[in-house]
Amino acid sequence: MNPELAPGATQLKVDLRDRVAIVAGAGRGIGAAAARTLATAGAAVVCGARSLDELDALVKEIEKAGGEATGVCVDIADPDSVEGLVQAAVDQYGRLDLAFNNAGAHAEGPLHELTIEDFDRVVDVNLRGTFVCLKYEISAMLSSGGGAIVNTASVGGVIGEKFLSPYIASKHGIVGLTKAAALDYADRNIRVNCLAPGATRTRMLLDWLSNDETMEMIVGKTPIGRLADPQEIANVAVFLLSDAASFVTGATYLADGGLVVP
């Protein structure tokens, strides 16, 4: 068995019938897996991503399996685009119950070699984008009696890592933003939690792990001894969005194969 592969990630089973969900960053990887899982659980899913082709393929897949989904092109770095994503959910379904904010960007290299534009691009998507998503999602949820939100950070949101300074800073910011938002709205029936994945077999990570030596190093640092399957991470997000996590808010859930053990 290849130790880098999941032995068989199964989809979490919860009941989310009559819920309306947004997945921002749904085009592939963890976001697409979460959208499928939410739809299988009975939620109507509004999928947001930059690629129309990826959205069309995902929506068709969900509908073929008997689920309900809509695709909306969105640029998380553009506040007007994010507002449009949330408004699309409200216009079509009348409310918003669940949101998974999963878009991400990174820039790699020693800090002094990175440009200010590199930093701004990563922070605009990861941290500012999460703030904007929260702003419009929470406004919609307040109008419909509450909801649940999960923001994707990273193990890089709780530890440091070489040559990823904009990414690490932005992910630490998401953890702090999640805590603040959770306290702001705990008494308004809105839960806000944070998901901190470890190394996951996504296109972004595989593009970064461009050689076997780097891959072996990452896998070797992970006690479980392999990369996560996107479904394994999506399961944690959907759990946090579900009523099974009804007493959980302000938490940062590590799904990292034991990489960070406090």
Percentages (nearest 5) of helix, strand, coil residues in the chain:
50, 15, 35
Q: Classify burial at 174, counting beta carbons within 10 Å of its beta carbon; exposed 0-12, middle 13-18, buried 19 or more.
A: buried
Task: Give Cα 6 distance to the centre of its chain.
Answer: 20
What string of DSSP letters covers 40-97?
A: HTT-EEEEEES-HHHHHHHHHHHHHTT-EEEEEE--TT-HHHHHHHHHHHHHHHS---
Active-site residue among 93, 167, 185, 253?
167
**142 in Cβ contact with 188 (< 8 Å):** yes
167 has catalytic annotation: yes
Q: Classify burial at 247, counting beta carbons within 10 Å of its beta carbon; exposed 0-12, middle 13-18, buried 19 or more.
A: exposed
Q: Which residue has the tokens 């953890």?
A: 175
CA dist 84 and 250 (Å) reads: 26
Instruction: Tell which phi-psi region holds residue 29, choosing left (phi > 0), alpha (psi between -120 and 50) or beta.
Output: left
- Identity (one letter) of the amino acid at 50? R
Judged by DSSP in three states, 126 sits in helix
What string of DSSP letters covers 127-162?
A: IIHHHHHHHHHHHHHHHTT-EEEEEE--GGGTS--T
Catalytic residues: 167
